[in-house]
Chain A
């Protein structure tokens, strides 16, 4: 068997010395714990802080309606509640949550759904603490709690009625269960139960957001390599046990998705796994015009700022290039198929334009902007308007310049700090076996979106998971980095990618600040 160069016999790294000579897992168990069985020591304060931060933003969000997909989700949920059946094309779980809240609380249903999302966001913070504890140490777990509590860029998903908050709340416990299996923390039938629960959770995440299918695929591949780790904890190669456990996880997820797929296929008259959003995304992402919803309402300068002219030249379409129109064919499946096929034909006809715009899309996915900065610069909802025209951003004091400017700057700095810490933590800090692989899963599940429509919202689940290696990095401050040339080269590559992205983001960031 070939030992992994960076992982020691007990699952930690040979050079993990400050916490424990045996590695991060052992370090976690040797730290004194004064908490209860249900709430380890030092967890209450970050969770309370998370609740307070989200509660403050919730108060500013209640009564308003946010621009974007929120009105559509609310419309689907209300229609479901009143008509008794779901009539949307998006996966049904998030509209189902809104429908349930509307059925129980009536006119206050949207506010109730925001409160549920806020509570789920605190739940997600707790799971990040579990993950960081398993991946590194109890100290990292506490750090993860504080980062998650105070990390403003993800706070909008705790109250804006988009599907990301629910998806994160399902994906994180699934990752924690899988990591517990991968590190050998669970034994016997508990392993089977954990794999089933993780599969159901990821299946439910897919029923929340179609893009979670990428998570399902990436976690299954990770599982083949990491879930069947032998008793010495060293190999990360595929094994029969890993294949079996990954198959069980995948089977549970497939069975969770299947009833919805069957109903959607019966309605449509042809196979439909989750939703039919690929066509519209192909129209927006594989076309001449550049679309990025982080930049709604912004006039991004094409010169005068570092990277502005480079960004503009990368996005400049050839003079003879046409925007292909979206054909609203009567049959939705056919409409979707034709749009994807037209998008593919566009890529084949313009490979150079496609590649250089993807360089900007990667930068868009790593942008320091976020939905927090987007909503902070939007005007409050217009009380005179109704329906979708009433949508805007936060109400009350948050939209005043004395709050929105510092909060925007802090949000931008937080994204940059998290990215740097996460890259350092994932590559140069010893983590428990499989934990660094989970970071790779987050990247692999998020990266395909850069090939189509990239914006900060689409990275949210992966961004949440990056809090784990960032917390490990903070918990290891002052210790020499581990890893050989390969890991250091990967870290240098990650830094280069971030610098590239942030160079191209200077112009949009300046435009965003000017808009406040």
Chain B
């Protein structure tokens, strides 16, 4: 049975019905993909041990800096003795030392 004409949605200007289906499909796919991407980011967050290992990955200063940044965000170095950070930096790349000195110099002060 046809729906009450009053309740029917009027046609949208110049839009074939297939366009509506494509739009729904795209909207749902993009939303699902976005949710999955973020969920993967949260679920796949590396552990502190993994970050400490990555922070000294040989020959990959970018990964080292990224891991060091994540450790600082999580408050790891503020919860551990300064000596541990100093030792870590001594065995790290120039880029990591530069990053900590430049962006987080307060971490290197005695506490």
A and B associate: yes
Please list the residues of chain A having a beta carbon within 8 angstroms of any beta carbon in chain B.
Answer: 1, 75, 79, 82-85, 87, 89, 184, 187-189, 191-192, 195-196, 199, 228-233, 235, 239-241, 244-245, 247-248, 250-252, 254-255, 257-259, 261-271, 273, 329-334
Instruction: Write out the residue numbers on chain B whose beta carbons fall within 8 Å of the beta carbon of A257.
Output: 34
Considering the chains assembled together, what is the distance between the CA atoms of A319 and B23 in angstroms? 59
When distances are taken between beta carbons in the complex, the residues of chain B under 8 Å from A255 are: 30-31, 33-34, 37
Main secondary structure of the interface of A (DSSP, over half): helix
Residue B4 at the A interface, CB < 8 A?
A: no
What residues of chain B lie closer than 8 Å to A271, measured between beta carbons?
A: 38, 42
A331 to B79, CA, bound (A): 9
A231 contacts B31, CB within 8 Å?
no
Q: Tell me how far the C-beta of A449 lies from the nearest C-beta in chain B, rounded to whole angstroms.
A: 25
Q: Is B45 an interface position by the 8 A CB rule? A: yes
Name the CB-closest residue of B to A262: B41
Q: Is B58 an interface residue (CB 8 A)?
A: no
Minimum Cβ distance to chain B for residue A79 (Å): 6
> Within the assembled complex, what's the spacing in Å between the Cα atoms of A192 and B21?
11
B9, B11, B15, B75, most chain A CB atoms within 10 A: B15
Q: B26–A251 contact, CB under 8 A? A: yes
Contact B24 A83 (CB under 8 A): no
A329 touches B75 (CB 8 A): yes
Q: Which of A87, A252, A263, A331 has the most CB of B within 10 A?
A: A87
Residue of B nearest to A234 (CB): B10
CB pair B73 A228 closer than 8 Å: no
B22 interface residue per 8 A CB criterion? yes
Give me 8 other A-B pairs in contact (C-beta within 8 A), A229-B13, A247-B31, A258-B33 excluded. A75-B103, A83-B62, A89-B73, A188-B16, A195-B23, A262-B40, A262-B41, A332-B74
B38 / chain A contacts, CB cutoff of 8 Å: 258, 261-262, 265, 271, 273
Nearest CB of chain B from residue A300's CB, rounded to whole Å: 33
CB distance from A234 to the nearest CB of B (A): 10
Instruction: Considering the complex, give the chain A residue whose CB is closest to the CB of B70.
Output: A267
Indicate if the CB atoms of A84 and B65 lie closer than 8 Å.
Answer: yes
Q: Is the CB of A267 within 8 A of B19?
A: no
Whether A266 pairs with B9 at a CB distance below 8 angstroms is no
Checking A1, A232, A248 against B27 with a beta-carbon cut-off of 8 angstroms, the contacting residue is: A248
Asked if A244 contacts B20 (CB within 8 A), the reply is yes
Task: Identify which of A189, A252, A269 contacts B74 (C-beta below 8 A).
Answer: A269
Residue of B nearest to A240 (CB): B9
